[in-house]
Amino acid sequence: MRASRAQAAMEFLMTYGWAVLIIMVVVAVLFYIGVFNPSSSVPKSCVFPSGSGFSCVEFNLDEGGRLVLDLGQASGRTVTVTGVGCSVNASPTMLSITPVDIRSGGHGWLAPASIPCEGALGLAFRGKVVINYTLAGSPLPRVVIAEISAPMAPGMLGSTSMVGITGCQTINSTGTYYVYSDLSSSGDCITFNSGASGSTLDCQDHSITGIGAPNANGVKIYGPNNVAIRNCIINGYNNSGVYTGLTTNCNIQGNTISNCKVGISLNTGSNCVISANTIEFNNDSGVYGMQAVGNITSNIIRSNKGPGAYAYQAANFNLVDNIITNNSVGISCAAGTINATRNTVNSNSGGGIGINMGWGYISNNTINGNTGSGMSVVGMGSTMSSTNNNIISNGNKGIQASGMATATSTGDTACGNTNDLYCDAMSSITASGTKCTSVSCTGASCASPC
């Protein structure tokens, strides 16, 4: 009897032991991949009451329950945030912060330091964020509360310090700097020195205004590399809205720069990206470069008294997908190089694209309605290669070469200009597959008429 019971027990273990072992292995794997980790089951969510006009543009919590929050609002008036608290209940200890002005339709990071969420334990947090604020035109204090949930994980706040700016200053160390209110200055307002490599300035749609001092800049980057300037409204500076010198890999994005001498000035540097800016009504060039490389993409450059973009003395500009209109000249190059692709260059008073003692590679642009020539290349040794451009209805020549310059035109449409192709006796244009009608250039001809 005992033998049969032992045999039965052994058979049971042999039959079901493997199943138990498999279940244990599966459970271990599920723990390993985080299925039973509370942080993986808590959604990242931040919800304000419907109709409040507030939103969380971005937020994160680290393993200690510290919160950073980019607050958006569309109340119809400017909001000034004066305090913030975070807790598992609706009665947190309120943290007084540097007042943050947020225009309706805008957003702003609330604190230069992280916000402690009271009662945050474990790997995830569910609770409330309480915002104290006032509306423009009313001193009445107001409160809005959001429901928030998120995983808490190491490194969620990033490694770069967040710093609030409420006045013009010189920055000497790496950080992410947020402007909390409109600024003004009679000299340079924000200056990044060599110790500030890797920094970002986010104006959060606040303005930086010059009040008349000569040679002043709204933002000056001199020496550091990898500096980004974003979401600034810069106006009224007698030198440049943004000035860079001896810097590489700067990023100037999403700004509005107006009524300065020069909108953006690049000096002795490389690989600076200028994108998605509006650069307008400046007293000289919209974008100027000397001995610098600029990648200029998807900007609106208009109504500047000088060239929209001016590459000078060994500058190299790569211009892609810009709208360049109503400047003295659309794109100008003197002893530099320009590569222009898919730009709209129209209604400029002096001409569309002009190259003087330099080199130009121009393709797939629309160049029309300029008072002067659509494209011109001038000076001994100057060359211009034009491919698949529409050069239409400009007030002078379509494509012009003069002063011992050479140009090639491949697959262009040059129509409705005073002379579609023009060169003087010392210059040449080689055309292939170009659609045009009027030619005043020995050796050049149209593949088909307009």
Query: Does residue 134 sit in the same domain as residue 191?
Result: no
pLDDT at 52: 96
Radius of gyration of the chain, Cα coordinates, nearest whole angstrom: 31
Query: Does residue 352 sit in the same domain as residue 393?
Result: yes
Query: Does residue 351 sit in the same domain as residue 369?
Result: yes
pLDDT at 8: 54
Tens digit of pLDDT for each residue in 380-424? 999 999 999 999 999 999 999 999 999 999 999 999 999 999 999
Domain that holds residue 384: 329-450
Residue 368 belongs to some domain of the structure? yes
Helix (H) or strand (E) holding 278: strand 278-280
Query: How big is the CA angle at 287 (ends 313 and 198), to the nearest 5 degrees?
Result: 95
Query: Does residue 344 sit in the same domain as residue 240?
Result: no
Low-confidence stretches of the chain (pLDDT beneath 70): 1-41, 111-113, 155-161
Tell me if residue 225 falls in helix, strand or coil.
Answer: coil
Residue 156 belongs to some domain of the structure? no
Q: Last residue of some domain: 121, 151, 181?
A: 151
155, with CB counted inside 10 A (0-12, 13-18, 19+), is: exposed
Query: Does residue 165 sit in the same domain as residue 291?
Result: yes
Distance, first Cα to last Cα, the chain = 109
Q: Last residue of some domain: 151, 180, 201?
A: 151
Residue 334 belongs to some domain of the structure? yes
C-alpha span between 153 and 166 (Å, rounded): 31
Query: Does residue 65 sit in the same domain as residue 105?
Result: yes
Residue 108 belongs to some domain of the structure? yes
Residue 280 belongs to some domain of the structure? yes
Query: Does residue 110 sit in the same domain as residue 194?
Result: no
- The pair of structure tokens assigned to 239 is 């030198």
Residue 315 belongs to some domain of the structure? no
Q: Are strands 435-436 and 413-415 parallel, antiparallel or unpaired?
A: parallel
Query: Does residue 77 sit in the same domain as residue 97?
Result: yes
pLDDT at 34: 42
Residue 133 belongs to some domain of the structure? yes
Q: Which residues of 8-34 are buried (b: 16+ CB within 10 A; e: fewer)?
A: eeeeeeeeeeeeeeeeeeeeeeeeeee
Residue 221 belongs to some domain of the structure? yes
pLDDT at 98: 83
Tally of structural domains, the chain: 4
pLDDT at 316: 94
